[in-house]
Structure 1
Amino acid sequence: MDNQFPLPGPTNLTPLPPANGASPVPSGSKPLPAPEEASPPPPGYRPPSAAEAPVVKPSLLKIILPIAGGLLLLGLIIFFISRLLAGGPSESRQVTPGQATTLTYWGLWEPVQVMKPLIDEFERQNPSIKIDYQLQAPQDYQDRLATALESNNPPDIVRLHTTWLPAFASNLLPSPANTISATEMSTNFYPIINRLLVVDTQVYGIPLAAEGLGLFINNTMFQQKSLQPPKTWEDLDSAARALKDVDALTGKINRAGVALGNTTNVDHWPDIVSLMLFQSGVNLYDPKGEELETTLRYYTQFVTKDHVWDDTLPSSVVAFANEKVAMIFAPTWRAREIKEINPTLAWRVVPVPQLPDSDVINWASVWFEGVPRNGKHPKEAWTFLNFLASAQAQQILFESAAKDREYPQPPAHKAVATIAQNNPVIAPFVNSLESARSFYTAGNTQDSATGLNARLIKYLEDAVNGITLGQDVAKTLETLNQGFRQVLNQYGISSTGRTGQ
């Protein structure tokens, strides 16, 4: 299977011990037979009289009775001991709070009230396991997670971004044989999920959602200009120029056409530029060539040539909510922010533009839940993750998130994502997942300054800014190429033979 990242080979794991309170029973064992009772005395038998001297002979009855009694006693002892240790197959055993295993779960983004219905259902189905969900602050999370994973007492379940796997794969325990398989992942989840999380048939974690990019457009502005949503990049360029409004005297942009072209106030610009590079066929493991230069020049021309956006405007999401720009690129979670800023704004989401006569390519950014290798309860933790991989669990979470914020992220499970398409805001994101790509340039991953994403994004930022400022293009792109290759090599990531995930 073609994977996004190289990981250590399969590790021979020590078999997990039996569940608490269980004891292995030898196969093929049978209950002991009941001892036979002594036969009644024959008719006409009478004991010897007192006057007769009895003749002492060995009595078969006296021999059998002690043996039979001993066998009966031994059988009862074995029976009750085995029942106490293993319990009968139809026995209903109640778990007291003292017997339950509590799993510590480090989460991000989702508040406790959203996760509660999901956790409640799992605990109902698994009364011997309790979940202690601890919402983590995003700031410095990657550093805190790295410290925890290297310790002897990490959380039982943690949330990670897929781009962190080159750094943390050796600290994670892949799914055991009795939980979700690579085949089930391939069947139930989108191709991008399998490329990111399945390596050599080993499943490294379970995603609850899969985020992407959509094109947010202002309905009123498009109607005023009698424009249709752009389907190609050429359409988008034309629409942006038609929609912009510039002060005739000062040249100041009153209303921007689209938020593209720089790195200072375009939210999610690393994801947008990475998407454009993928669509152009650039190999991000070894970025070079005419396609790289053409794509970066095209991105910057929205500022340098078309003047449909500049750095005097607010950040793109805020500008869109305040009707300062007609189009922006953003993930689903920005929809809530837009509505909170301007509840009466008329807007919608459409698919991102594509290149004509080319394969459809979209973008994805995926968080997932993993099990630390040094955790105290790996079997129970994977029982929980196996539940999270089910359509039932992802449906519960989607419905809970929808009540909390109206625009939840698209579920990672395909069956549930199909249901989510009924929400017109989420539908374009769901439809994009089948053709999505991803890379280590995903934005908003809370990387530390020395993290893989942060370092690659810095090289990409310098290249975009260098072209905008008119610096030597050849030198700018060579620095980008060398920087990418150096960082990827430090993480053991190959730069040959692949053009993206």
Structure 2
Amino acid sequence: MDFSSRFSRRTFVKTAVTTAEAATLVGVLAACGAASGTGGTSSSTITLTYWDWYVSQAPWVDNEIKLFQQAHPDIKIKKITQGTEDYDNLYALAFKSHNAPDIAMIPQKPKTNIQVSQGWFMPIDKWANNTWKARFPAGVLHEGTNTFNGKLYSAPLAGTSPWVQLYINNKIFRDAGLVNGDGSIKLPKTWDDVTHFAETITKKSGGHVYGLAFGNSAFNLLQWWMQVFILGAGSPGGAYDLDRRVGKYTYGTDRNYTDFLTLFKEWKTRGYFYPSSMSISDEVARAYFVSGKFGMTVGGVWNQAEWTQHNFTDYSLTTLISPTETPKGYFPVTPGSNGNGVFVGISSQTKHPDEAWAWFDWLYSVEAGKRWVQMGEDISIFPQNNDPAQVKFKPFAQFVGLSKLTMNEPDPNVRNPQTANVELQAVKPDMGDIIAGFYTGQIANIQSALSDLADRMQKAQDDAIKQAQQKGYKVSAADYTFPDWDLTKPYVTKPAQS
């Protein structure tokens, strides 16, 4: 499945965090006046317009701009952050109006190959020689993700890691006696651990503190819980994808799905969940977590920057919670794909390509990647930057350490780059809707609902393949089937023999 249909880290930050005043369409385009060639503050200074949607990561971007401009005093970066879901449409309109920013985060829709075919971005091969490419790990720059018709257009910024985690309020765990002999916090490893810990917190507090909670009013985030709890059970499709061992959606035939959702509902029935979880937002839930209303919640690394701003650091995190002590699978990742395959691109409309490349190259430097980790933003695409021992902030060091729980999965894009042209349409109700319906009692037969979802997802997949075939692309269901995949070992995808 391509990254546009999987909820990635960067997607959430883009949609869940907004600027204080969302830019209007007219205002944004007006602000782009310098985008494609307007001079800077003097005749010897060139101003580049740069777009992103990084709000919580703004300190890293701002610091990189400061350092870049110190090293390149003849280039000024004019940053415009679009903290809005309209980014994709705004970029498309800017390009159509010949006001595209010189360099920008690549929109998530349409797919990157379509943007390239429509001429939105220029290839960077003029500058990105073999030495430049060699700084990246093997396999992240490949046809169908950031390379099209043999030309490179972008590269990943973030490395691969479990993108959702179970967060633990340390004080609540200490108050409930959930500590080891040395005083350290007991981190749950299994489904039974979570059940026991949630029960302990709820009962020992006399019902004043709950074991678990989430916020689901603004965004349906319940799929996150499935990702944390289902992958280690040996169900690699998780909440979003098909099982690539068989090339099909197995929600209705893999009993792990029914087992986990039955347990999830049981946690509610027993009173372990904060009662208003369905009616509060994720933002409110994060604030309630800080104030100690519950002990465990599921979220991503983007929470950490916000909590640090509020001086809340007394928490821990873990992930890959499994039915058994030893997981039967890991967080499946495809380096260079799933939302990490592209970051920024240089506009085909820029009048300053060499200067735009200088800023592009700076963002992709190993040094900038090191600061990306040290400032607590995310995993770096460069493995040498991801040493937990070099991270001072303990919760983020824990996150960096979780990268060992990822495992390379089969990549249809590597096997057959033409699968980039398979456009899977969104299916509703989706997994999040099914979980919400079951949790609230609107769905009584979860097995039937999961089977129906699998059938609808499979039809969407089959239809997408058929449509790509009708357009002349050589793709088939076999491109998504890898029967030799061992979930406990990294998979090396080989291009199909032509």
> TM-score of the superposition, structure 2-length normalised?
0.63
User: Whole-Å Cα distance in 1 between the matches of residues 231 and 95 of structure 2?
Assistant: 33
Deviation at 1:268, TM superposition (A): 4.2
Provide the residue aligned with 1:258 in structure 2: 212
Residue matched to 1:175: 124
How far the C-alpha of 1:352 sits from its partner, in A, is 4.2
Query: Which residue number in structure 2 is paired with residue 66 of structure 1?
Result: none
User: Residue in 1 aligned with 2:307?
Assistant: 338
Deviation at 1:390, TM superposition (A): 0.9
- Paired residue for 1:432, among 390, 398, 402? 402
Report the alpha carbon displacement of residue 116 of structure 1 after superposing the two structures with TM: 3.6
Amino acid in the other structure paired with 2:449: T
Give the CA deviation at 1:105.
0.3
Question: Deviation per CA, 1:352-402, whole angstroms, max 9, x where unpaired?
Answer: 424534243267864722223444444432332122111122334556xx4
List per-residue Cα deviations over 1:226-278 (Å, max 9, x = no partner). Answer: 34211233322332233223898xxxx53221236x95589843334245454
Partner letter of residue 231 of structure 1?
A: K
Match of 1:449 in 2: none
- Cα distance in structure 2, aligned partners of 1:190 and 1:457: 37
Q: Which amino acid aligns with 1:461?
A: G
Q: Distance in 1 between matches of 2:143 and 2:171?
A: 40
Residue 219 (str. 1) matches residue 170 (str. 2) = yes
What is the CA–CA distance in structure 2 between the aligned matches of 1:462 and 1:394, rounded to whole Å? Answer: 37
- How do residues 278-357 of structure 1 correspond to structure 2 at under 5 angstroms? 278-279=231-232, 280-283=234-237, 284-285=241-242, 286-290=248-252, 292=254, 294-295=256-257, 297-299=259-261, 301-305=263-267, 306-313=270-277, 314=280, 315=282, 316-340=285-309, 343=311, 346-354=314-322, 356-357=326-327
User: 2:4 touches 2:339 (CA, 8 Å); kept in 1?
Assistant: no
Give the 5 Å matches for 1:146-157.
146-157=92-103
Is 1:477 the equivalent of 2:450?
yes
- Residue 460 (structure 1) aligned to one of 431, 434, 453: 431
Per the alignment, residue 223 of structure 2 pairs with 270
Is the contact between residue 3 and residue 339 of structure 2 (CA under 8 Å) also seen in structure 1? no
Aligned counterpart for 2:78 among listed residues 121, 125, 132: 132
1:110-144 C-alpha deviation (Å, 9 max, x unpaired): 47664343223333444554322112232422321
Shift of 1:322: 1.7
Count, aligned residues: 387
Alignment equivalent of 1:107, drawn from 44, 52, 74: 52
- The secondary structure found in structure 1 opposite 2:78 is strand
- Larger radius of gyration, structure 1 or 2? 1
Distance in 2, matches of 1:290 and 1:263, equals: 24
Q: Is the 1:4–1:196 Cα contact (8 Å) retained in structure 2?
A: no
Contact residue 361 and residue 436 of structure 1 kept, 8 A: yes
The whole-number CA distance in structure 2 between the counterparts of 1:195 and 1:264 is 39
Letter in 2 for 1:214: Q
Are the counterparts in 2 of residues 103 and 156 from structure 1 also a CA contact under 8 Å?
A: yes
8 A Cα contact 1:156 1:377, kept in partner: yes
C-alpha displacement of 1:424 = 1.4
Separation in structure 2 between the aligned mates of residue 267 and residue 337 of structure 1, nearest angstrom? 20
- Offset of residue 169 of structure 1: 4.9
- State the alpha-carbon separation in 1 of the partners of residues 398 and 357 from structure 2: 32
- Between 308-317 and 363-372, report the one with greater CA deviation: 363-372
Q: Percentage identity across aligned positions?
A: 18
Using the TM superposition, give the Cα deviation of residue 346 of structure 1 relative to its aligned residue in structure 2, in angstroms: 3.0
What are the Cα deviations for residues 405-446 of structure 1, in whole angstroms up to 9, with x where unaligned?
A: xx443433322332753431112322333516799xxxxxxx
**Amino acid in the other structure paired with 2:249:** P
Residues 330, 128 of structure 1: alpha-carbon distance in 2 compared, 3 angstrom cutoff? same
Q: Secondary structure at the match of 1:257?
A: strand
SS of equivalent to 1:425: helix
* Alignment CA distance shift 1:161-1:4 (3 Å): same
2:187 is the alignment partner of 1:229: yes
Separation (CA, whole Å) in 1 of partners of 2:476 and 2:397: 35
- Contact 1:159/1:369 (8 A) holds in 2: yes
Structure 2: unaligned runs, 5 residues or longer: 6-39, 180-185, 243-247, 411-422, 469-474, 492-498
SS of 1:98 mapped into structure 2: coil
Counterpart CA distance in 1 for 2:286 and 2:476 is: 36
Residue 288 of structure 1 and its aligned partner are, at CA, apart by 2.1
Paired residue for 2:369? 394
Kept in 2: contact 1:214–1:428 (CA 8 A): no
RMSD after superposition: 4.4
Distance 1:471 1:186 in 2: 54
Asked if the contact 1:467–1:473 (Cα under 8 Å) also holds between the matched residues in 2, the reply is yes
Contact 2:53 2:84 survives alignment (8 Å): yes
SS of 1:103's equivalent? strand
Unaligned ranges ≥5, structure 1: 7-94, 440-451
Contact 2:318 2:402 in 1 (8 A): no
Shift of 1:464: 1.6
